Each structure stands twice: as structure tokens, then as C-alpha cells.
Amino acid sequence: MVKKKSASGISKAEAIRESLRAIGISAPTKEVVANVKKNHSHIKFNPKTASVDVSIQRRKLRGGSIKAHAVKRVRPSSDAFDVHQLKAAQQFVAQIGDAEAAINAIRQLQALQIH
């Protein structure tokens, strides 16, 4: 996280964004970190996470989202019926006259069956 404010009142994120605006948004991470250290000597960088910090602030400046969006894929339904089954159900509903009555008839038939 880059949200913790330092003693001078400017956070690491704000310092990175300020540096990116001054140098240019496409500047290499090492230049951005060096510029931040030069202008704000009190801000400390973890060398392992500096590139992540700079990358997040670049995305924020560009106006993009900083969170990855999950891609939702539509899976085929496991209870998909065959076309012949659907036609048979349609004929059954037509014989009964109403879908609710057909459902009630199926429930009664299911209650009578012994497994």
C-alpha cells in the first residue's frame, strides 16, 4: 500500500504522481524513484515494491482502474433440456391447459412414485 502519509504531509503516492507529471508518464521506474528520492528525501522505497507503486500511480494518472476485472464467462447450463423433451413438455401443457396446472400434476405424480 502506498497510502501512508509521511511527516511532511505528502504521501508516497502523491510524490510518485508529482514526479510522473514532472518527468513524463512513460518515464522508467528507476528515474521516477530517483526523482522522488531527490525531491522528497524523507520518503523511503522498498526496492521490491517500487515498480508496483509506480505502476499503480501510472494507471491512476491515465484514468484507468487499478483493480483487475474478473471476466465472467457464461457456462452452459447443466439442466439444459433436449428439444424433444421441450416439445413433449409443450404438448403436455397444451393438454392440461395451464402451466401451473401442469406443474401441480407433475408434483402429484412425483409424490405418488415410490423410489
Whether pTM > 0.85 for this model: the answer is no
- Average pLDDT of the chain is 83
Task: Tell me the average pLDDT across 55-73.
Answer: 78
CA distance 102 to 89: 9
CA distance 36 to 14: 10
Query: Looking at the predicted structure, is the pLDDT value of residue 106 above 80?
Result: yes
Which residue carries 397444451 as its cell? 94
DSSP state, residue 27: S
Task: Tell me the average pLDDT across 39-65.
Answer: 85
User: Rounded to 5 degrees, what angle do the CA atoms 17, 21, 23 make?
Assistant: 115
